[in-house]
Copies of this chain bind each other. A is one copy, B any other.
Amino acid sequence: MKRGKRRSEKTGLPPGTPVHVGEQKSQRTKITVIDYDEQHLEEREVETVEECAIFKDQPNVTWINVAGLHQVEVLQQLGDCFGLHPLVLEDILNTMQRPKMEDFDDCIYVVVQTHYYNDKSRKIVTEQISLVLGPSFVLSFQEWEADLFDPIRERIRSRKGHIREMGPDYLAYALLDAIVDGYFAVLENLGEDIELLEEELVAGPGGATLHRLHDIKREVIFLRKSVWPLREAITGLARGDSPLVKETTRLYLRDVYDHSIQVIDTVETFRDMLSGILDIYLSSISNRMNEVMKVLTIIATIFIPLTFIAGVYGMNFKYMPELGWRWAYPAVWLVMAAVGVTMAIYFKRRKWL
C-alpha cells in the first residue's frame, strides 16, 4: 500500500473511470496471444491492441494474456475491442480487489489473487489476476509477468491432456486450477515455517520466535482474506447457469472448488495451530520466569538470615558476652548450618528443589 495510487484517491471519480490503483510492479505492459484449436496453434507477442482484434471473431480459442497493468490506455483499448463493461475495466485496474465472479451475459469476469512465497524474505507476495471468459476467447490480466501460466502454455503447445480439444471455458478452468495449485505451494512453505516455529518453541523460545510468529499470523490472516471469496467465485462458476461454461467443464470446476475448500481447511488449521503455539509460548515464558524466581528465592531466603546472624556478631558493643566465649564461633557455624538445612528441607517439601 506504499507506492502507487491509493484506493482513496479515486473518491469522487465517476464509476467506470479506469485508474490504476496499487503499486506498479512491472516495467511495461506485455501482451501475448495464443490462438489454437485441435489442429492449429499460433503464439505471438503483440505490440498494439489492434493486432488482437483480428482474433476476436474467429471460432478458435484465443487466449490473450496481459502482464503489467499501469498502462491504462492500452487496457482501455483492449476493453473497447472486446466490449468490456467500464466497471470491469475499473476492477481489473484496481489491484486491491476482493476475489469475485460476475456474469455479464456475453462474458464472465473473474478476479482472484495468487500468492508466491518468497524464500529469501520468507514473505508472501500477492498478485491480482483477472480473467474474462468470452464465447471464443479468454483474456487474462496479470500485474507482472509471472511464470504461473507457463505449464499451461506448455500443455497447449505439446497437446498434453485434452486442452487443445476443449473450448475457452476449459482454458479458463485450467488457469484457475493453476492459481489454486499455487496456494498449495504457499501453504506447504507456511506449514514448514510453522513446524520450524514449533521446534524453536521446544528448544527454548526468544523474542525472535515471537516476531516470526506474528509475521506468519499476519500472512495467514491475509491468505484467509483472499481464499474465502475465491471459493465463492469458483462456486459461482461451477454452479452458475451461464451458457459460456459447458457441463463437462463444470465437473472440472467442482474439482477446483474441492481444492479451494482444502486450502480453506488448511488455512483454518494453521490459525488454530498458531494460536496454540502462542499459548504454549506464553506458558513457557511463565514457566521460565517461575524457574528464575525459584532460584532467586532459594538463594536469597537461605543467605539473608545467615548474613543477618553474621551481622549481629559483627556489632561492636562493649558488653556482648558471646564474643568472649570459647566455642561461640563454632556454635554460630552450627546455628547457621541448621538454618540453611531447615530452609533446604522446606524447599524440598515444596518441590522447589
List chain A positions with a Cβ less than 8 A from chain B.
1, 6-8, 10-17, 85, 87, 96-98, 100, 150-152, 154-155, 160-163, 174, 177-178, 181-182, 184-185, 188, 191, 202, 204, 206-207, 210-211, 214, 217-218, 221-222, 225, 229, 251-252, 255, 258, 261-262, 265, 268-269, 272-273, 276-297, 299-301, 303-308, 310-320, 322-329, 332, 350-352
Contact = CB atoms under 8 A, between A and B. Distances in A.
A213 B134 CA distance: 48
Contacts of A184: 7-8, 11
Contacts of A229: 265
A278 B281 CA distance: 12
A317 B323 contact: yes
* Majority-rule SS of A interface residues: helix
Contacts of A288: 290
B313 A317 contact: yes
Nearest to A180: B11
A246 to B, nearest CB: 15
Given A221-B273, A280-B214, A299-B300, A207 B287 contact: yes
Nearest to A163: B14
Nearest to A291: B350
* Most B Cβ at <10 Å: residue of A177, A292, A301: A292
B286 A286 contact: yes
A82 to B, nearest CB: 18
Contacts of A312: 310
A87 B255 contact: yes
* Most B Cβ at <10 Å: residue of A12, A225, A276, A305: A12
8 contacts: A8-B184, A11-B178, A12-B151, A14-B162, A207-B287, A217-B276, A293-B296, A310-B315
